Amino acid sequence: MLDDIILGQYVPGDSFLHRLDPRTKMILSALLAVLVFVVHTWTGYALYFAFTAALAAVGRIPPRYLARGMRPMVFFGVITFLFQLVFVREGRAVLDLWILTVTDRGVVEGFFMCFRLLLVVLVVLLFTLTTSAVELAEAVDRLLRPLRRVGVNSYDVGLVLSGAIRFVPTLLEQADKVKKAQMARGVVFEQGNLIERGRKVTAILVPLLLNVVRRADELGMAMEARCYQGGVGRTSRMQLRTGARDWVAAAVSVAWGVMLVWAGL
Q: Which is nearer to other proteins, 124 or 203 (CB)?
A: 203
- Binding residues for other proteins restricted to 48-107, rule: CB under 8 A: 62, 64-65, 68
Give bridge partners of residue 97 from the DSSP assignment.
Answer: 100
Choosing from 1, 14, 150, 186, the residue that interacts with other proteins (CB under 8 A) is: 186
- CA atoms 164, 168, 171, 173: torsion sign: negative
Binding-site size, other proteins (CB under 8 A): 26
Non-local (6+) Cβ contacts of 49 within 8 A are 115, 119
Q: CA torsion, points 39, 40, 43, 49, in degrees to nearest 10?
A: 50
Q: Which is nearer to other proteins, 47 or 178 (CB)?
A: 178
User: Which bin fits 98, alpha (ψ -120 to 50), beta or left (φ > 0)?
Assistant: left
Interaction between residue 132 and other proteins (CB under 8 A): no
Interaction between residue 1 and other proteins (CB under 8 A): no
CB of 184 to other proteins, least distance (A): 4
Q: What share of the chain is helix, strand, coil (3-state, %, to 5)?
A: 70, 5, 25
Rounded to whole angstroms, the Cα distance separating 14 from 42 reads: 34
Q: Which is nearer to other proteins, 12 or 151 (CB)?
A: 12
CB of 29 to other proteins, least distance (A): 20
Interaction between residue 9 and other proteins (CB under 8 A): yes
Interaction between residue 198 and other proteins (CB under 8 A): no
Residues interacting with other proteins, by CB under 8 A? Answer: 3, 6, 9, 11-12, 62, 64-65, 68, 177-178, 180-188, 202-203, 206-207, 210-211
